[in-house]
Structure formats: C-alpha cells, structure tokens
Structure 1
Amino acid sequence: MELLSAVPFVGGALGAIVPFLVVLGIVVFVHEYGHYIVGRWCGIDAEVFSVGFGPKLVGWTDRRGTHWQIAALPLGGYVRFVGDMDPASAGKADDGDLTPEQRKHAFHNARLWRRAATVAAGPMFNFILSFVIFAALALAVGRASNAPVIGELRPELAGQVDLRPGDRILAVAGQPVETFGEIIAAFVRANGAEVEVEVERDGEKLAVPVSYRLASRIDYVNPGMPASRAGLVAGDVIVAIDGQPVASFYDLQLVTAAKPAGQEIVIDVTRDGELMTFRFMPDMVERPHPVTGETQPLPTIGIRAIGLGGIDPTLEPRGLGEALESGFAQTTRIVTGTINYVGDLIFANADPGQLGGPIRIAQISGEKAEEGLMSFVYLIAIISTSIGLLNLFPIPVLDGGHLMFYAAEALRGRPVGNAAIRVGTMIGLSLVLLLMVFATYNDLARL
C-alpha cells in the first residue's frame, strides 16, 4: 500500500525541514502501521514495512519475517505484503513463485473483505490519530471560560491597559457585562477610544481607564482554513478588504461578517514592507456575530489576533466526554471542509491557487514548531486527517482506488485483471503527480 503524501522539499531553512520530516514521518508511520496491523489480524503476512522510499538507511527483520526499514527519501512509505508485485500493490505475483505457506498468507489470496479492511485501515488509523490528538489537547488545555474574569494579559499589552490577571470586569463604559465575550465585544466596539472599566480586584471595586485597539495584524492562521490555503501567514498586516481600508481587527470582522455566502474576498496585506493581494473564498462557520453576539453561520477565513486581542479568559477543565466530543468534532470539521473545497474546485467555485504543497506544509511545520509543542502536535492532527482523506479518494494508486477495484470485484464476482490494475495505476499516478506539481507551483509562486 503506497502513501503518496508528499514530494521532495527543496530549499528552505533547517527550522522548516526538520519539523516537516517529523510531521510526515509520524503521519506516514501511523498510516502504514494501520495497513500492517490489520493485515496481520486478517492473516496476511507483510514482507517489508518502509518509512520512506529509495535506498535503505537502516533496517531489521522481526521474528515474523517482516523487514522494517527507514529509507533515504522521506516522501511517504509502504507496506509490501506477501504476493504483492510492487509496493503500490499494483497487481499480484504468480502463485507459482510462492511457497505453499506464502500462498496461504498472500494478500491476493485473502478473502475480499480482509483485503478491503487492510486497505481501509491506513486512512482510518490517520483519522484515529487525529481524534486522539484533538481529544488529548482538549483535556490538556481545557476550554476558555466565559466568566467575565481576566485570565492572562499578553506582554504586548503591558503598559497599554491597567488590567491584571484575576480582575473581574463588572461594567465597560457604564454597561454591565456578564460574560467574557461581552468584555471583548465592548472593547473592540470602542476601537481605541478610552472607556471606563469597573473592575473588582482583591475585594475592592475600582474604575480604570482602558484604551484598547485590536490591531489588524494577523497573529495566528488556522491550518487548513481559507486564509492558510491562500498563503496568509502570521505577521501579515491587513490594510484593506475588497478595497475598503481596514484600521483594526474589528473592522475586519465587520466586513467579513457582512459578506454574502459564496462570494470571493480580496485581502490586501503588507508583509516585510511589501504590499500583497490574496483572493479566496471564505468558509461558512457557526460563530458569534461581532455586533449582535448571536451565533450564526458567517463567512470565516481562519485568522485571529493574539489570544482574544491579547486579553485571554480564564481556563476551566474539560471532562473526558467533552474532550472526546471535541476530538470527533474537529476531525469531522476538517473532513467536511476539505470535501466542500474539493467540490467547489470541481464546479469552479473555489480558487485553485489555495492548494498548498510540500513547501507550504514545511513552512507551516516550522512556524508551528516555533510556536510550541501544542501548536506542532495540533498540526500533526490536521495533516493526519488530510492525508487520511486524500488516500480515500477513488484514484488508482491511492487506497481509495484499491477499494474501488474491490467494489468492482464484488460486483463482477472475480478480481480485476492485472492489466487493468496496471493501466489504472499509471493513470492514477499521473493524476496525483500532476496535482502535486501544481500545488508545488503554487508554493513557489507564494515565495
């Protein structure tokens, strides 16, 4: 089973290459281990388990006769089962070339459901990895409390606001507040104008002036969201949306929220002194409206400022059930978002320039590694889901293509011939390579 998940990353700093290889290595190993272990449970023997392609760097053979190896080209991986003609399982070997014991445990001689389960296990293990990571992060981080209490002030706000961690906000500009969301909404509406904030601090009630502007600087880009696919990065400063000047992040929220569904957005940013323009389609996501606070489907591009503008809420622990629900929801959200984007591409409703390739993945890997372990692990979960879904597409050479052949076998009552499998594999490989070349071209165009 071949996992064509990347092409060579050329150039770039070591700080991007190493995280990229770590991300890809983990995702590939889990994917291929899914094939291997389910195949073993189904009575199918594996000859080779390889992380990477090309010349072997290190390897060993276990007591079951499977040779485990790490190869020189970290472009994916494969499990070659007994009876496979090649790592892509594109056809089967002649039984005359196998011993009686090998024939009994050969992949092509296994019952159809066993072969299908073995093939499907790779993507399923990717989804399981994502689910486990998302759930574990939800348990470890907790969830933001909506209590009107300041949890943390980022260093960027030092000296700008006379607020302290633990302050309970009672009112902003004379208006009582009961939730943390109301605090932030009141601040961003003021948009830099000074307002009086009533706080309870150490048992005393104080009135402190706050002048707060949520700058239009992007501090975080959600991987897999439209802004990330388009090439926006942390540090970009948004200066205009659809030709309208933007002075603050609140202006950005207002303009984005007012966009009709299915309409393209054009964002002008400055990056290292250079003006750049990005065009892409927002996703529709359930979130609070920046003015009314009412939760509703709104156009969303997947960016934010530091924390909630540098002022973070307190955190409260999640229960196990809630963490598991969060893991499932986040995995499902990535799957549905990707499927919707592919559908839009097919019907020419999405910008193909948003496709990212290995260079973009390497860049994001480096950024997340710098942000810290949790951001990096979060990226692994996102990439794992994406690779799992990619491999389920019904394209010969991918796992979905194998499952398509098995569906045909179930309908015909006999296996698809080697010649048809080889032709389909060549067509599928060509399509995948063309897609990767196009995605890499997009990556180079963004540099």
Structure 2
Amino acid sequence: MIDTPGLPLTLLAFILVIGPLVFVHEMGHYLAARLFGVKSDVFSIGFGREIAGWTDKRGTRWKVGWMPLGGYVRFAGDMNAVSQPSAEWLALPADERNRTFQAKPVWQRAIIVAAGPVVNFVLAILILAGFALAYGDTRTPPVVGTVLEGSAAATAGLQEGDRITRLGDRDIAVFEDMLSYTRIHPGETTTVGFERAGQGQTLPVTIGVEEQTDRFGNNYRIGMLGIARGERVTVSIGLFEAPVVAVQRTGEIVSMMVETIGQIITGRRSVKELGGPLSIAKVSGEQITLGVDAFVFLIALVSINLGFINLLPVPMLDGGHLLFYAIEAARRRPVGPHVQEWAFRGGMAAILGLMLLVTFNDLGNFGLWRSLARLIG
C-alpha cells in the first residue's frame, strides 16, 4: 500500500521548508548590507503581487509575495539589472548615494552577495551538528562482514574479512563511505582496493544495480556491491567536535552533488532525475510524515542545495555576480554594462529553460504524461 501525505499537508510542508530557507538566505544579504551601510529598499519573501507587508523605520519594505518560490532584497541604488552606476544614480544626493550598493568597494559588494549562500551552509551545518550531538557519528570499519551470493562483490572476488580501502578515486575510511559511493554509481565499472591478510590488492568491480520502491511509491535505481557490514559502530560526539563532523558531512553532500551533476552532463545519469519545486514539495510532504528528524534533515539538505546552486557562476545567480566582481577586482574596473546585460539575459534564459525541464520532469514523475497518453489512446 502506498502512503500519500495529501495535498494540504504537502503544501504546508513545502512552505515550512522553502519559506524559512529563503528568509535565512535573504537575511544573509540584508545583514551584510547593513554591516557596510547599504540601505535596503525591499525585503521580499516570494515573488509577484504583495499580499502582506510593512515598512520599518529605516524605510525598508518587508513584504510577502503570492508566489512562494524564492525571494529577494533590493538595495538602494539598484536601478538596473547589473547594479552598475547610471545617470539616475549619479543624480542622487551624495549622502544618499553613499548608502547605495554601487557606492561600495568590490570586496564589500562581494561579501554582501556571498552572505546569502554562506548563511544557508551555516544553517545546514548547525542542523547536522545537532544531529551529531544527539545521535553520535556512525564509524563502522569498512570490513566485509558477508558477501551476498551472486552480488557484484562476489563476482569481483571479495571475501569476508577484506578491509576496503578504496573505491574508484575515493579513499574509504568507514563503511558508510562505501555505501555513499556505490549508491550513486549503479552499473559502473571501477576498481576496489582492499587489504586481505595484511596485503593490499586491487580488483575490477562492476557495481550492481537495484531498483527500489519506497512506501510512497517512489522508484530509485541505486548501486550496490552486495556486502553486509559487521556490527555498526556509533561514537558519541562532543560539543566541540560536532561542528567538525557537520562540516565534513556538508562537504560530502556537496561532493555528491557535484559528482551527480557531472554524471548528468556526461550522460551517465538521465536528465529525468533532475527535479524542481514540485519534487521538493512532494518530498517535503513525505518527509514530514516520517517524523521531525526526517523533516529537519530534509531542511538541511535543501539548504545545502540552495547555497550550492546560488554559488554556481551563472549570471542572475549570486555566483554570477561574484564572477563579475572577481573579474572587476582583477581588471581594476568593472565589466562593461552591455556585456553584463547580455550575460544576465543569457543566464535568465538558461534558468528559465532549466525550470521548464525540471517542471516537465516533475509532472512526468507525478504520472501526468502517462495519464494523458492513456486518455489520448
């Protein structure tokens, strides 16, 4: 039987995930701007028509838009898409102009822009540190407990008691490292390094493929070696070690994101696996039914995703701005406004194209295209 959280709970869960994360992201921009004396005209959660809002004593309009798919902070002086000085900006009184974004040196503008993604990573690290404190850290030795008959490990020649030291280009320190690697490399042929009776050996291995279906009816294609671990080892984590563990886990998640994106670009993974807001909403609804821990962990994952994506060097994203600031710092003068304008148009087109693709995928995952095909047929 397939469990479904229902549309109301799914929408609520989606808002509880996206709303706070967008707020935290934009608050990073806002607080960094205040630190350097930049006035913020608008702080918006959501896009489109304002459904609620107020203006504070500093003149910042805090508002909520009807489309909860993001947010923005509009700084004083942002009179064009590329945030470059214009005739209108030059006409401002000197005191007012000094409180605008364009008036600040490039390093301050870079910090303001980077603050949003950085805060997303900081939030995720705090959440993961809390999990490490509460539940400890799993550090099971990468020793083969049993080898499943007919599995990839059995075919490769691995035996009980072998200590795995390397898979492909990745060193294996704990059993969980091996699981993380195999899950995202189904069907791939690589090498496995291991120690047997104190001697190091290397064997070729083709990672097995397993199709799994969870309680919500979602299908997954994951890689497996077919090795059972020995007794799970979990160590307690102290207050000072927890942030270190959290940073390591965050780095592992980012590394996995980079690797899966590379697999999509090179064709080893289907673009159909890319998901968008509809997929996030679906997963949010599912995870909230699994309990607080699962839902909070999802928030950490989405926060890492939000920070990572925004740092990509794509115009219109924070990373695109940072790229132009790096060029400006190297050239000692900004990139021409026409070049930036065309770059931002290209970035906008790319983002819209990606949004269309992931929405098409999401609708397909929901079964819309199959239903339409049946109706037409």
Which structure's CA Rg is the greater one?
1
> What residue is the counterpart of 2:155 in the other structure?
none
Task: Give 1:35-434 correspondences, 5 Å limit.
Answer: 35-85=29-79, 91-93=84-86, 94-143=88-137, 260=205, 265=209, 267=211, 282=223, 290-291=227-228, 293=230, 317-434=236-353
**Structure 2 residue identity aligned to 1:75:** L
What is the CA–CA distance in structure 2 between the aligned matches of 1:145 and 1:260, rounded to whole Å?
24
- What is aligned with 1:165? none
Asked if the contact 2:44–2:73 (Cα under 8 Å) also holds between the matched residues in 1, the reply is yes
Report matched runs for 1:12-51 at 5 Å: 13-51=7-45
SS in 1 for 2:227: coil
Q: What is the CA–CA distance in structure 1 between the aligned matches of 2:121 and 2:305, rounded to whole Å?
A: 9
List runs of 5+ in structure 1 lacking aligned partners. 1-11, 147-178, 190-224, 231-240, 243-257, 294-307
Q: Residues 290 and 259 (structure 1 numbering): CA distance in 2 closer, same or farther, change over 3 Å?
A: same
Between the two proteins, the alignment pairs up a number of residues equal to: 315
Residues 145, 431 of structure 1: alpha-carbon distance in 2 compared, 3 angstrom cutoff: closer
Give the letter for the 1:290 counterpart. Answer: I
Mapped to 2, the partners of 1:402 and 1:380 lie a distance apart of 26
**Matched residue SS, 2:240:** helix
**What are structure 2's unaligned runs of at least 5 residues?**
1-5, 150-179, 188-202, 367-377
**1:445 alignment partner AA:** G
Question: Sequence identity, in percent?
Answer: 37
Following TM superposition, by how much is the alpha carbon of 1:420 offset from its aligned partner in structure 2, in angstroms?
Answer: 2.1
Larger fraction in helix: 2
Q: Cα–Cα, structure 1 residues 145 and 130, in superposed 2: closer, same or farther, change >3 Å? A: closer
Residue of structure 2 equivalent to 1:149: none
Superposition RMSD in Å: 3.7
CA deviation after TM superposition for structure 1 residue 145, in Å: 9.6
TM-score, length-normalised on structure 2?
Answer: 0.73
CA shift for structure 1 position 316: 6.9
Preserved CA contact (<8 Å) 2:42 2:73: yes
Report the Cα offset of residue 122 of structure 1: 0.8
Residues 308-359 of structure 1: CA deviation (Å, up to 9, x unaligned): 9xxxx89874211332222112211111111112222222232222111111
- Taking structure 1 as reference, are residues 18 and 227 closer, same or farther at Cα in structure 2, changes over 3 Å only? farther
Determine if contact 1:92/1:418 at 8 Å carries over to the other structure. no
